[in-house]
Structure 1
């Protein structure tokens, strides 16, 4: 891992899309988080959003989520024309961040980001605040009530800049209690789920369920579940029993 400069910037990214294709981005938003001279992290004034032409009509189902219409995108640039200007800014950005970053990484490929490292605030939230009940961006917002978050700047939800603004508050608080190196390391692994996601023991802490039940989750289709089950078995003294895939994946929400 590259050495982290003493003072640096992490750019939080959020995307809205018109579908699931590789070029279906219809909006990108960003909010920078900067480390000050005293080592503390805070939100910077650098934030914004750009509409993007996805190259095809947006479905009614998708418009119902973010309310971006085809008419709003008339004259907007294509993703390949605008992505690098946001993902590789002239500012010294050391990493990109997003909530459930695997989704953004589908579109923000290494070619477009210049090979930037990523922090996933969803994965880091489960590590730092496992006592919370839910870990979506907006649930973290209202469970935690981050200091300094201007309510109206974080609205409407499911638009790129407001969502990036909310995520940046979570990231700021994470960076002020943990190192950027640790957040990057957690983000490179599958998600560590604080509680059992399904079955008769759903909602229970992993340490409260029988080892035979944990072993059943080692074969789960969800890589986050497999990783969590393996981690729990290792905690109980078992040898590593699975080669966990670490490729980006959207996974399942808690």
Structure 2
């Protein structure tokens, strides 16, 4: 099988009214668990790139003036995909807002890292790059830099995915991608930095049944309430 790890640079977030892809990167991880060379190319989004997003990736309107269309770019991502393959991305929900990936399953390396590497200080691909022992030393730095560009980020994420595969297996990673995460530390509010297991029961009750927090927070609160 092949897992195609993708990364997009865009002109906006999925919640923005105007947004499109302005760069595509992908790196294939094949079933011998070899990370292949990254592929990247610019995309003409069809509208100006706002300064807020240009400040992240530094891609200009002039850079993309003669680039391919988003429709063409997404067709390229499907080239060579066969039954049994999968797509992956770090925070896959972001990429999926721009590209559905047909009927192929997805692996979210961010969610899977939260499940399998709960002690990491953060779960961004750049933090995991340095936190996972020896991973950065395995990278060809000419392919891994600079960050916040599509091809290098896909290459780093593919190496993180290889660690996740060895820690688990592909079917389990696909399952974990949509499974709620049992969180370790609180990242919000008056108990920020505390362990979830040490939160007062009344606060857990509020999170689980009255708050507008996300499914991971609600799942974690219910988990620790169940043990009391």
- Structures share a fold, TM > 0.5? yes
Q: What is the deviation of 1:94?
A: 1.3
Q: Secondary structure at the match of 2:93?
A: helix
Over residues 129-180 of structure 1, what are the superposed CA-to-partner deviations in whole Å (9 max), with x where a residue is unaligned?
Answer: 1111111111111222415112232111000000001111110011012011
* Count of aligned pairs: 220
2:51 aligned with 1:51 = no
Seen in structure 2, the aligned counterparts of structure 1 residues 44 and 131 have a Cα distance that, compared at 3 Å, is: same
Instruction: Confirm or deny: 8 A CA contact 1:100 1:122 kept in the other structure.
Output: yes
Q: Secondary structure at the match of 1:203?
A: coil
Q: 1:201 matched to which residue of 2? A: 191
Q: What is the deviation of 1:185?
A: 0.6
Q: 1:103 matched to which residue of 2? A: 94
Q: Distance in 2 between the 1:124 and 1:61 partners?
A: 29
Q: 2:215 matched to which residue of 1? A: 223
1:16 aligned residue (9, 16, 20): 9
Q: 2:149 matched to which residue of 1? A: 159
Q: 1:181 matched to which residue of 2? A: 171
Q: 1:73 matched to which residue of 2? A: 64
Q: What is the deviation of 1:23?
A: 5.5
**RMSD across aligned C-alpha pairs, in angstroms?**
1.8
Seen in structure 2, the aligned counterparts of structure 1 residues 154 and 108 have a Cα distance that, compared at 3 Å, is: same
Q: What is the deviation of 1:197?
A: 1.6
Instruction: Confirm or deny: 8 A CA contact 1:123 1:192 kept in the other structure.
Output: no
Deviates more, 1:194-203 or 1:18-27: 18-27
TM-score (norm 1): 0.80
Instruction: Confirm or deny: 8 A CA contact 1:23 1:55 kept in the other structure.
Output: no
Instruction: Confirm or deny: 8 A CA contact 2:11 2:19 kept in the other structure.
Output: no
What runs of 5+ residues in structure 2 fail to find an aligned partner? none
2:161 aligned residue (145, 153, 171): 171
Q: Distance in 2 between the 1:231 and 1:79 partners?
A: 42
What runs of 5+ residues in structure 1 fail to find an aligned partner? 1-7, 238-254
Instruction: Confirm or deny: 8 A CA contact 1:126 1:194 kept in the other structure.
Output: no
